[in-house]
Chains A and B, each alone.
Chain A
């Protein structure tokens, strides 16, 4: 479970979070808020990729120095190397994480025919698939997905939902947190909605 205590984050003079406290209780959580309220920023801080000015994040009651070791994230804010092909991006992640090429994920997302396309030339839906593949590849206990269904076709959304259904089976202390402006489909698959 992730718990946030007295979090403060500001960009220049704009306070995005001021003494923010939150406990994500459920195993599957869908975070909701209007645009620009800081959902993505919060996910980035939970993943350890952005630093708050102050505050503490606890993962299963533990404060971690490098949370990225146990957190996997897919977000548009993380720029993937757009001069590489999708295959090269995935290969690079596989090598870094010491994993095999995720053939099952690639087939499930119908991504095989786009593997040799340069990332910058992929459609937004296919870029999203590439982000999701690299996030699922890590198999970290905590999975954070920023607008995972945005731009995805229906078949890929169905595949994503089956992945989310099974994700925590072998991770008893794990948790999935997503953000979505269309949460209905996730609610049907056991996600609890919570406001920011």
Chain B
């Protein structure tokens, strides 16, 4: 028994070490954004934490506007999933998963996964802090918040073990909150739970295997179908930013020009940073295409995904916030410039974006 405990604790310490090592290596990959984080996110960190709690407060107290609370909850779940998705290799220690299977009991593995999942889930921890602060009477008034925390936990579990089901869950939940129906908060969250439960039963979609990959465009399409999270997280962050900015416009309409400029620069940042992913794909498969005499077309094609993504994101920005026409040519040129920097001078990518953003905000 003592030996078993000792083995379990040594397994846990191995998993914790693997977790911290992987996180450090992931953070080192973000060095091109380090200046951006230092300049922008550093001072805004406290504000972001407060915003997180403010949003949770709206979810807790959503009796007056249950639809709005449900929308906010879906955005929260989406952002939480994106963050956990990025951390999943560290949480699961994916690199050594087979090694873990060969040595340890599966129960230990799941226990370690759950502990690290909870440790990584800042969104759920924030909800737990609010939950602890509530009295029993308040608890009885907001039973939906318990369900929301359950959904937050399920999101993490799905990210680790059922990513396909997570896709269905978030998609169907988004559709539900956009439907013109009148539900109470509790009904909304019970529906979300039902959607999450049913999503496990839905078969995974494998569209990309049926594609005939006859061209470079289809090669990239196939790549992004299978690596859709790099688009989903960018789309989610953009959507969350736009919703926050819409709220700001609703409160302070005199800020609308400034908000539009900010939305526009976030759109350029998120879409042009896709070039980092495309560059990695280009480097990996360059020799294959070169051996097929397609080196030049493949080189050019790597710039198309982020340009197309920019065009689509820009349409979303226009449809939600409206636009000043001057932003269309500026956006296209700026996106190409950021792509060039991602390709040739990644260390300057964030810095240039930051100074252009300052310039545009000042002009607005």
Contacts and interface: CB of A to CB of B under 8 A. Distances in A.
Contact of B211 (A68, A69, A73, A88): A88
Contact of B213 (A73, A88, A97): A88
Contacts of A32: none
A97 B293 contact: yes
A114 to B, nearest CB: 13
A78 interface: yes
Query: At the interface, is chain B mostly helix, strand, loop or mixed?
Result: helix
A47 B284 contact: no
Interface in B198-243: 208-209, 211-215, 219, 222-223, 226-227
B29 interface: no
A10 B289 CA distance: 24
Interface string B265-295: 0000000000000000000110111111110
Contacts, number: 62
Contacts of B291: 47, 49, 68, 72-73, 78
A161 interface: no
B287 A77 contact: yes
A96 B294 CA distance: 7
Interface string A60-101: 000000101100110001111101110011011101110000
Interface residues of B, number: 22
A96 B209 contact: no
B214 A92 contact: yes
A84 B213 CA distance: 9
Contact of A91 (B212, B287, B289, B290): B212
Given A83-B222, A83-B226, A116 B209 contact: yes
Given A85-B209, A97-B292, A78 B214 contact: no
B301 to A, nearest CB: 12
Nearest to A85: B209
Contacts of B227: 83
B293 A92 contact: no
Contact of B288 (A44, A48, A78, A91): A78
A141 to B, nearest CB: 14
Given A91-B214, A95-B215, A78 B222 contact: no
A66 B294 CA distance: 12
Contacts of A116: 209
Contacts of B292: 92-93, 96-97, 134, 138
B255 to A, nearest CB: 44
Interface of B: 208-209, 211-215, 219, 222-223, 226-227, 284-285, 287-294
Interface of A: 44, 47-49, 66, 68-69, 72-73, 77-81, 83-85, 88-89, 91-93, 95-97, 116, 118, 134, 138
9 contacts: A68-B293, A72-B291, A78-B287, A81-B223, A84-B213, A84-B222, A88-B212, A93-B292, A97-B292
Question: Would you list the 5 A-B pairs with minimal beta carbon distance, nearest first?
Answer: A96-B292, A88-B213, A78-B287, A95-B214, A83-B226
Given A78-B291, A81-B219, A88-B222, 4 more contacts: A48-B290, A79-B285, A80-B285, A83-B208
